[in-house]
């Protein structure tokens, strides 16, 4: 249920409604709306209905949320979009984030070269995996802790916030030392224990859509994080399995406006993993930005031919600045404010 408070509702009235919701064992989540306060009441509907909140002081109306995801739904924010602030870099609403960096952290030289290049080219955050989900158990699975230290060094040198994948809750502690955004990979999108754990960590989370997951399943994954009181969730479309075999995955750009209709959460697109080919990354990025994506997470490498994984799809560092400018122009078409600092 969603309790929409009156515009002039007092703090006491809001708190009293929340206390009453909690008194029947339900969970009350307050949405920080600019005009009106909305309280999401999550729990047994019959218990909440018995409270008769409709007639309570300060309450405008009580509306059921029909979607299975409640906190992720657009309704709960009353049309307002979530804007996340990641170390001063905003994403959502009018703000576009360009998250760039190598698929995986391979060496100090590789990561720092990539980090400085993408920073100089206008990226707003740095990506790079220290823990890699690989199809083969015999493949390289990332540098682990050593990779995390290198990411910390890259952040110290460039100031770019770090987006890095957490695959296993047992690595949460060291990953939290470095990650400004915890990436949950496509293969872990339905790892509910992991989602709850990152929810409890309070750190911003970027959830990639599973290879064969529906948008509703993605939003339910987000709900696991939100339910723990962590409001900083970013959704990511990265390509899904279809009958098409000409490329790795089919980038579902319809998901961008659709997710934005269904949810208040920022939506980013990964244009690298679907085509698996560098030459297709730019057109997909421009299409995603023009379709209203709140950001792009793209792979960039100083020497893609030597990359340990995903070499063919990684942009070259020397091409990044020009690419970023095109993405900024496409994002402007969808109403985003410029994100490349004037100094670049």
Where do contacts with ligand PEP occur on this chain (CB under 6 A)? 103, 129, 133, 185-187, 208, 238, 270, 273
Contacted by 266, from ligand PEP, Mn ion, none: CB < 5 to 8 Å by type:
none
Q: Which stretch binds Mn ion (CB under 5 A): 34-42, 91-99, 204-212, 305-313?
A: 305-313
180 binds Mn ion (CB under 5 A): no
* Token output for 217: 């399943």
Smallest distance, Å, CB 158 to ligand PEP? 20
Contacted by 197, from ligand PEP, Mn ion, none: CB < 5 to 8 Å by type:
none
Smallest distance, Å, CB 328 to Mn ion? 23
* Token output for 132: 């890699």
Q: Which sign does the torsion angle of CA 262, 327, 82, 158 carry?
A: positive
Question: Of 155, 184, 154, 148, which is closest to residue 270 (Cα–Cα)?
Answer: 184
Residues 170, 175, 178, CA angle at the centre, nearest 5°?
A: 165
Q: Which sign does the torsion angle of CA 137, 140, 142, 145 carry?
A: positive
Smallest distance, Å, CB 329 to ligand PEP? 25
Smallest distance, Å, CB 241 to Mn ion? 17
Residue in the block written with tokens 């804007």: 83
Contacted by 186, from Mn ion, ligand PEP, none: CB < 5 to 8 Å by type:
ligand PEP
Instruction: Pick from 106, 232, 310, 328 the residue near Mn ion by CB under 5 A.
Output: 310
When the beta carbons of 44 and 306 are compared against ligand PEP, the nearer one is 306
Rounded Cα–Cα distance for residues 225 and 197 (Å): 8
Contacted by 20, from Mn ion, ligand PEP, none: CB < 5 to 8 Å by type:
none
> Which 3-state string (H, E, C) describes 144-197?
CHHHHHHHHHHHHHHCCCEEEECCCHHHHHHHHHHCCEEEECHHHCCCHHHHHH
When the beta carbons of 133 and 174 are compared against ligand PEP, the nearer one is 133
Residue in the block written with tokens 């920022």: 266
Smallest distance, Å, CB 166 to ligand PEP? 11
Smallest distance, Å, CB 245 to Mn ion? 19
Strand order across the beta sheet in which 2-5 lies:
27-31, 38-42, 2-5, 59-63
Question: Of 124, 80, 86, which is closest to residue 232 (Cα–Cα)?
Answer: 86
When the beta carbons of 40 and 204 are compared against ligand PEP, the nearer one is 204
Q: Which stretch binds Mn ion (CB under 5 A): 101-109, 192-200, 237-245, 263-271?
A: 101-109
By CB under 5 A, name the binding residues for Mn ion. 103, 310
């Amino acid at each position: 249920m969603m309790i929409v408070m009156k515009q002039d509702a007092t703090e006491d009235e809001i708190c009293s409604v929340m206390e009453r919701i909690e008194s029947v064992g339900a969970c009350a989540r307050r949405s920080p709306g600019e005009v009106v306060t909305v309280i999401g009441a999550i729990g047994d509907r019959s218990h909440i209905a018995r409270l008769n909140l409709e007639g309570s002081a300060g309450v405008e109306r009580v509306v059921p949320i029909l979607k299975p995801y409640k906190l992720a739904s657009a309704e709960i924010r009353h049309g307002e979009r979530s804007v996340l602030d990641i170390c001063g870099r905003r994403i959502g609403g009018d703000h576009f984030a360009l998250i760039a960096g190598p698929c995986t952290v391979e060496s100090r030289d590789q990561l720092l070269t990539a980090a400085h290049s993408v920073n100089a080219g206008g990226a707003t955050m740095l990506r790079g995996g220290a823990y890699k989900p690989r199809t083969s158990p015999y493949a390289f699975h990332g540098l682990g802790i050593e990779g995390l230290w290198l990411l910390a060094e890259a952040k110290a040198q460039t100031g770019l916030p770090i987006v890095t994948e957490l695959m296993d809750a047992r690595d949460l502690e060291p990953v939290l030392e470095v990650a400004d955004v915890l990436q949950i990979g496509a293969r872990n999108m339905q790892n509910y224990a992991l989602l709850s754990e990152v929810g409890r960590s309070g750190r911003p989370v970027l959830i990639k859509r599973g290879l064969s997951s529906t948008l509703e399943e993605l939003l339910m994954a987000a709900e696991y994080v939100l339910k723990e009181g962590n409001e900083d969730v970013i959704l990511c479309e990265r390509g899904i399995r279809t009958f098409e075999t000409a490329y790795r995955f089919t980038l579902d750009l319809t998901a961008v406006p659709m997710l934005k209709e269904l949810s208040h959460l920022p939506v980013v697109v990964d244009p690298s993993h679907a085509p698996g080919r560098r030459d297709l990354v730019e057109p997909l990025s421009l299409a995603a930005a023009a379709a209203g994506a709140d950001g792009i997470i793209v792979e960039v490498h100083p020497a893609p031919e030597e990359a340990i994984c995903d070499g063919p799809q990684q942009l070259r560092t020397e091409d990044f600045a020009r690419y970023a400018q095109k993405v900024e122009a496409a994002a402007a078409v969808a109403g985003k404010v410029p994100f490349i600092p004037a100094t670049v």
